[in-house]
Structure 1
Amino acid sequence: MFEDRRHAGRVLAEELARLRLGQPVVLALPRGGVPVGTEVARTLHAPLDVLIVRKVGAPGNPELAAAAIVDGDPPDVVLNREVIEAYSLSDTELAEMIKRERPELDRRRVAYRGSRHPLSIAGKTAILVDDGAATGTTMKVAIRALKRRSPRQIVVALPVAPRDTLAELAQEVDRVACISQPARFRALGYHYLRFPQLTDEEVAGVLQEAAQEPFQPSKRGDADSSMII
């Protein structure tokens, strides 16, 4: 069990520090991934940014994603072809659904990042961080969008996730780092002593704190770790 998200980030950072991750950029999935990513960025002396993913729900079934919008300049739209075909969505209908979700994506961008521009990952190592993953659906969408932005490599970093989810993610990226891989995952909060819901204001505060810290590139070397796939 982790004490809280910050503790999970420090433990995760220790594993990531064993690798040679040239020019890393830490991208945290809000909200829960931000405190974890802050500790990873601090340990690796890497810049920190958020990667906001907004789901576009299918008609009458908002939990089923027909597409997703990933914040960027410009934003990336990742389509779920199986759902689109199952609901017989036309290009016009899909475009309207995506348009309806854009204001919330824009609101979160302003709330979390303010006037700061998103960090470029072209030619760099993108470390994608969250506080855990059950199915890995959001993480997969984020990965697909990141691949379009020409990173040198993509590393997924999680404090806890089921083994089958990690195996699926490992097929999508260059490396996956995970501290705890329980056979029985249960709910994500079960793996933390303190797991409060975070507000937009708290996330913005953590990001502002990280932005004020001096950034120095890491010079760490290689090492093996059984927790890194």
Structure 2
Amino acid sequence: MQPDDLSFRDRAEAGRQLVPRLTAYADQNPVILALPRGGVPVAFEVARALRAPLDLIFVRKIGAPGHAEFGLGAVVDGAHPQVVLNEEALGHVKVPPGYIEDETQRQLKEIERRREHYLAGRRPIDVAGRVAIVVDDGIATGSTVRAALKGLSRARPARLILAVPVAPQDTLARLASEADEVVCLRTPEQFYAVGEHYDDFRQTSDREVTTLLDEAQRWTREDVP
């Protein structure tokens, strides 16, 4: 796309622009949770400005038997992983006994594998009693974000915040009830894809993710008395 004054230069700039909307939480023991991979460069800037720990939150879909793309729910990563089921979808599919439990275990193993890959096996940060700020590089349909918020809310954070640079207004309206606060910098009237709102929307690499997570570990250690 052609650069314009309504575009973010890249994910890092988008994260820096989010910071002023979130600085009020800097002294409230926040945890920044990025949806990988694209949410990590955005969340990194927020975490750095707030001197807050940065973690990933993985969301894995539970697909229907024989139709993996038809979501019956999702497994949400965390200190206490949660299963978020779509009751409406379950009403349209015959699910064998034990299927959800088996799929949940399979997805938990995949989450564990990814956590090992990106975080060298570091355990998820417990958000109970803390301000949890979920960050992505943008939202289109919001299905993944909704599952993440539903799962996190069960972990009883003191406050649950969704922060994104750009999203369609109707999607934000549907997500509003899932968080205590929704922060979004831009809600274009015409919205086709998140990438249209960035000058540089190259795929975030695994190496970039691990580098940023390691850097965030450094300042977190520095802040420990």
Give the TM-score, by structure 2 length.
Answer: 0.89
Alignment of 1:37 with 2:46, yes or no, is no
Alignment of 1:123 with 2:129, yes or no, is yes
The answer to whether the 8 Å contact 2:168/2:189 transfers is yes
Match of 2:21 in 1: 15
Query: In structure 2, what is the Cα distance between the partners aligned to 1:73 and 1:15?
Result: 27
| RMSD of aligned residue pairs (Cα, Å) | 1.9
Q: Which range moves more in the overlay, 111-120 or 8-17?
A: 111-120
Letter aligned with residue 94 of structure 1: I
- State the shift of 1:216 in Å: 4.8
1:185 to 185, 188, 191: 191
Count of residues in correspondence between the two structures = 217
Structure 2 residues without counterparts, runs of 5 or longer:
1-6
Match of 2:112 in 1: 106
Letter aligned with residue 165 of structure 1: T
Alignment of 1:196 with 2:198, yes or no, is no
2:78 to 62, 65, 72: 72
Alignment of 1:209 with 2:209, yes or no, is no
1:121-169 CA distances to partner (integer Å, 9 max, x unpaired)?
1111100100000111111111111111111010100000000111111
Match of 2:4 in 1: none
- State the shift of 1:183 in Å: 0.8
Query: In structure 1, what is the Cα distance between the partners aligned to 2:144 and 2:131?
Result: 19
1:180-216 CA distances to partner (integer Å, 9 max, x unpaired)?
1011111111001111112333212211111112465
Alignment of 1:53 with 2:41, yes or no, is no
| CA shift in 2, pair 1:116/1:100, >3 Å | closer
Within 5 Å, give how 1:123-162 maps onto structure 2: 123-162=129-168
Structure 1 residues without counterparts, runs of 5 or longer:
218-229
Identity of aligned residues (%): 46
Query: In structure 2, what is the Cα distance between the partners aligned to 1:17 and 1:216?
Result: 17
Query: In structure 1, what is the Cα distance between the partners aligned to 2:223 and 2:108?
Result: 35
Letter aligned with residue 121 of structure 2: S
Query: In structure 2, what is the Cα distance between the partners aligned to 1:25 and 1:18?
Result: 13
State the 4+ residue runs in structure 1 displaced beyond 4 angstroms. Answer: 18-21, 214-217
Query: In structure 2, what is the Cα distance between the partners aligned to 1:216 and 1:60?
Result: 49
- State the shift of 1:18 in Å: 4.8
Query: In structure 2, what is the Cα distance between the partners aligned to 1:116 and 1:189?
Result: 31
1:94-116 CA distances to partner (integer Å, 9 max, x unpaired)?
22333333332121111121132
Letter aligned with residue 140 of structure 1: R
Query: In structure 1, what is the Cα distance between the partners aligned to 2:80 and 2:47?
Result: 25
